[in-house]
Copies of this chain bind each other. A is one copy, B any other.
C-alpha cells in the first residue's frame, strides 16, 4: 500500500533526467541510456508523458523530448495522476460514493478523505524537490479536525 508501480518509478526517473537537461531535447534513446532502462519501456513512458502534457515532443530527426514546464511547476500529484491514473484510495472514491455496501460505506468515505488530503499535500511537492530531496519531509498531521486542538504540541 502507498506503493507506486515500477513504471511510475521509472517515469519519475525520466522526468528528473529531462529536468537535468534544462530544456534541451533528448531522444528516447538518449534517455534510455542515461537512466538505464530498456528502450521500449522508455519509449512507452515518454509517449505517455508527452500526451499528458508533462513533456513536450518534437518529431523527426534531431527531435526528442523536453519538459513542458520548469520542474518547480510540476507537482508530485500531477506526476502520479499521469503515471498511475487518478489518485483514489478506494475504488468507489473515484465515482464518488456508490458502492453496494451502503451504510458501511462511511468507512470508505474516511479513506477517501484521507486520500484527498494526501493528494492535496502532494501538490506542494515539486519535481524539483524530487530531484534534490531534502533530508526529510516533515511529519504529516492527518489527525481529524475535531481532535486537532488537543494535540498541537505533539511534535515536541
Write the residues of chain A forming the contact surface with B, with a CB cutoff of 8 angstroms: 1-6, 8-9, 12-13, 16-17, 35-37, 76, 80, 83-85, 87-91, 100-102, 104, 106-111, 113-122, 124-125, 129-148
Contacts and interface: CB of A to CB of B under 8 A. Distances in A.
Given A118-B140, A121-B140, 15 more contacts: A1-B8, A1-B85, A4-B111, A6-B91, A16-B104, A36-B101, A111-B130, A113-B136, A117-B136, A117-B138, A121-B141, A124-B142, A134-B144, A137-B142, A140-B140
How many chain copies? 2
Contacts of A13: 101, 104, 107
Query: What DSSP secondary structure best describes chain A's contact surface?
Result: helix
